[in-house]
Amino acid sequence: MIRHHPDIAWLTDYAAGTLPEAHAVAVQAHLHFCRDCRAQVRRLEKLGSQLLEQSVDGGNTEALLEQTLACLDKVPAAPQQATAPAKTGWDFKVPTGLSRLLPDAPEQLSWKALGRSLKISRLVAGSDKHEVALHHIRAGGKVARHDHGGNELTVVLKGSFSDQLGQYEAGDFIIRDKGEAHSPNAAEHEDCLCLTVVDAPVRFTHPLLRIFNPMLKIHPA
Amino acid sequence: MSALRKRLTATPTPQGHAKGQLLDSCPLEQQDPWNQTLATIATGDRAAFADLFRHFAPRLRAFGAATPMVDSPSAFGDELAQDVMISVWQKASMFDPGKASATTWIFSIARNRRIDLLRKRNRRPEVLMADDMFPDMPDDSADPFTLTQEERLGSHLQDMLDTLPAEQAEVLNHVYVEGKTHSEVAEELGLPLGTVKSRIRLALQKMKVDIEAGWQP
């Protein structure tokens, strides 16, 4: 059961279309799992339609109408399907927004191991500020305790993990702020796959691991 | 945003009634009157398209012109209005009134096209397009509770918007019409982020748009 949702400010910014792409794709991944938030977004879009209805400029639009009618002859009648094709080589149903960023199967991504339990694959999302990545934690695996230089946004795609602050399952949307150190731990019976979006590098808190911190950088792409 | 302005700007619907009157006098008639117009446009009817255009183009133009950081707001307003109306023409046969009303559907096209046009203008990489971030969501309308909420919301939202305190209506307008994030609005108005968030939250709760996840009647 989904227990962690984007708050109403996140959903409002999503529905109004003001979130950066990397954040919007994470919210969409949550909506893929969460019926309650989908209903919330529908209501927020309805509100948007009423605000559009109220914003009117008084100018004449007849000339623009003539121009537009003239264009109608030149545009194709049937629009092309705009979203990416469904990705079927994954062992979970890939949210539509994320489909654009993923290859057909996980083997086609390049994965980087960070310790025994965690491997990461960075995705190209067209972002200049955020690093978008998949984090894979092996069943029962534990990720070293770390803090965050900025915000870390996580959406669980498959499996589950827990940390000092809670337990998270598929669909959960988690924001960790600077100063909220944690050490995620995947459930024993299943690997855990998460979508993450960060705007600053993580920082290991363990004295022996801290020497790696200066080398950790984010790679917005 | 005032009731006066609403009356001044109300234009005849295809049925020849002012929209507010239609909703007030026929509480059972909750359908967006433009739903039928879209169905007619889907058959290739240009007269119906012109009707829809005369109503929505001034709104879409204002929506586009309110966009921050474009060099020529009025030119961008025209560009967006034309672009959205052409998309409406192309996609009219895909419109499903069971999922969203015509006005909500047109709002979502306007939001999406603004995002994509701005990305192009700013020469940012085109990896994730708006249609990727806002795909068609599964039809959850089988849930009778959700449907009732949305129907009720549809008929009262406009009236409730008019009763909002000006400061709450203002921030909603900044977010939806100008397309600014909560943080950008806070910066522009010189308010703490928490104040902007709580104004929006209060407005949404008052209008029953914000219903806590998992809330049961």
Can you tell me the mean pLDDT for B137-144? 69
Residues B111 and B198 in one domain: no
Q: Report the distance separating Cα B101 and Cα B30, nearest Å.
A: 10
- Residue A195 has phi, psi (to 5 degrees) of -95, 130
Q: Cα A95 to the chain's mean position, in Å?
A: 10
B141 or B111: which carries more pLDDT confidence?
Answer: B111
Residues B124 and B181 in one domain: no
Q: CB contact, 8 Å: B62 with chain A?
A: yes
Contacting residues of A for B135, CB less than 8 Å apart: 28, 83, 96-97
- Residue A182 has phi, psi (to 5 degrees) of -155, 165
Q: Report the distance separating Cα B55 and Cα B73, nearest Å.
A: 20
Q: Are B131 and A17 in contact (CB under 8 A)?
A: no
**Is residue B118 one of the residues assigned to a domain?**
yes
Last residue of a domain, one of B79, B109, B143: B143
Our count of domains for chain B comes to 2
CATH code: domain of residue B32: 1.10.1740.10
CATH code: domain of residue B195: 1.10.10.10
Split at pLDDT 50, 70, 90, the class of B151 is low
**Is residue B105 one of the residues assigned to a domain?**
yes
**Is residue B139 one of the residues assigned to a domain?**
yes
Tens digits of residue pLDDT in A35-85: 999 989 999 999 999 999 998 888 899 999 999 999 998 888 655 566 778
Can you tell me the mean pLDDT for B179-194? 93
Q: CB contact, 8 Å: A25 with chain B?
A: yes
Tens digits of residue pLDDT in A134-143: 999 999 999 9
Contacting residues of B for A13, CB less than 8 Å apart: 175, 181-182
How far does the CA of residue A83 sit from the closest CA of chain B (Å)? 5
Integer angstrom CA distances of residue B191 from B156, B178, B188 = 30, 17, 8
Residues B192 and B124 in one domain: no
SS (H, E, C) chain B: CCHHHHHHHCCECCCCCEHHHHHHHCCCCCCCCHHHHHHHHCCCCHHHHHHHHHHHHHHHHHHHHCCCCCCCHHHHHHHHHHHHHHHHHHHHHHCCCCCCCHHHHHHHHHHHHHHHHHHHHCCCCCCCCHHHHCCCCCCCCCCHHHHHHHHHHHHHHHHHHHHCCHHHHHHHHHHHCCCCCHHHHHHHHCCCHHHHHHHHHHHHHHCCCCCCCCCCC
Q: CB contact, 8 Å: B65 with chain A?
A: yes
Q: CB contact, 8 Å: A72 with chain B?
A: yes
With pLDDT > 90 as the criterion, what percentage of chain B qualifies? 59
Residues B52 and B126 in one domain: yes
- CB contact set of A174 (below 8 Å; sequence gap of 6+): A4, A153, A154, A155, A156, A166, A168
* Chain B (22-41) residues lying within 8 Å, Cβ to Cβ, of chain A: none
Q: Report the distance separating Cα A108 and Cα A82, nearest Å.
A: 23
The residue written with tokens 């990720």 in the block is: A143
What pLDDT is stored for residue A16 in this prediction? 97
What pLDDT is stored for residue B144 in this prediction? 59
- The two tokens of residue B5 are 């302005």
**Is residue B168 one of the residues assigned to a domain?**
yes
Among B77, B99, B90, B103, which Cα is nearest to B23's? Answer: B103
Task: State yes or no: pLDDT of B13 exceeds 70.
Answer: no
Report the residue from A38, A49, A100 with minimal CB separation from B137: A38
**Is residue B61 one of the residues assigned to a domain?**
yes
Q: Which residue on chain B is closest to A97 by alpha carbon? A: B132
**Is residue B150 one of the residues assigned to a domain?**
no
Contacting residues of B for A18, CB less than 8 Å apart: 175, 179-181, 184
Q: Are B214 and A36 in contact (CB under 8 A)?
A: yes
Q: Are A40 and B146 in contact (CB under 8 A)?
A: no
What pLDDT is stored for residue B152 in this prediction? 64
Q: CB contact, 8 Å: A89 with chain B?
A: no
Task: State yes or no: pLDDT of B183 exceeds 60.
Answer: yes
Q: Which residue on chain B is closest to A29 by alpha carbon? A: B133
Can you tell me the mean pLDDT for B110-138? 92
A26 or A145: which carries more pLDDT confidence?
Answer: A26
Q: CB contact, 8 Å: A178 with chain B?
A: no
Q: Are A77 and A48 in contact (CB under 8 A)?
A: no
Residues B131 and B169 in one domain: no
Residues B183 and B93 in one domain: no
How far does the CA of residue B37 sit from the closest CA of chain A (Å)? 16
Residues B16 and B64 in one domain: yes
- CB contact set of A207 (below 8 Å; sequence gap of 6+): none
Domain range enclosing B171: 164-217
The reply to whether residue A25 touches residue B132, judged by beta carbons under 8 angstroms, is yes
Split at pLDDT 50, 70, 90, the class of B148 is low
Report the mean per-residue pLDDT for chain A.
91
Can you tell me the mean pLDDT for B145-152? 60
* Chain B (115-144) residues lying within 8 Å, Cβ to Cβ, of chain A: 115, 124-135, 137-138, 140, 143
Q: CB contact, 8 Å: A71 with chain B?
A: yes
The reply to whether residue A75 touches residue B61, judged by beta carbons under 8 angstroms, is no
**Is residue B153 one of the residues assigned to a domain?**
no
Residues B136 and B178 in one domain: no
**Is residue B148 one of the residues assigned to a domain?**
no
DSSP annotation of A115 reads T
B4 or A166: which carries more pLDDT confidence?
Answer: A166
Tens digits of residue pLDDT in B27-74: 333 678 899 999 999 999 999 999 999 999 999 999 999 998 788 999
Q: CB contact, 8 Å: B206 with chain A?
A: no
Residues B25 and B82 in one domain: yes
Which residues on adjacent β-strands are paired with residue A135?
Answer: A120, A194
Residues B137 and B185 in one domain: no
Q: Report the distance separating Cα B116 and Cα B123, nearest Å.
A: 10
Q: Report the distance separating Cα B33 and Cα B16, nearest Å.
A: 10
DSSP annotation of A84 reads P
Report the residue from A59, A68, A100 with minimal CB separation from B85: A68
Is the complex ipTM more than 0.95?
A: no
Q: Report the distance separating Cα B124 and Cα A125, nearest Å.
A: 11
Split at pLDDT 50, 70, 90, the class of B215 is very low
DSSP annotation of A107 reads G
Residues B49 and B135 in one domain: yes
The reply to whether residue B209 touches residue A44, judged by beta carbons under 8 angstroms, is yes
Q: Are B103 and A49 in contact (CB under 8 A)?
A: yes
Residues B67 and B138 in one domain: yes
Domains within chain A, CATH numbers bracketed: 96-215 (2.60.120.10)
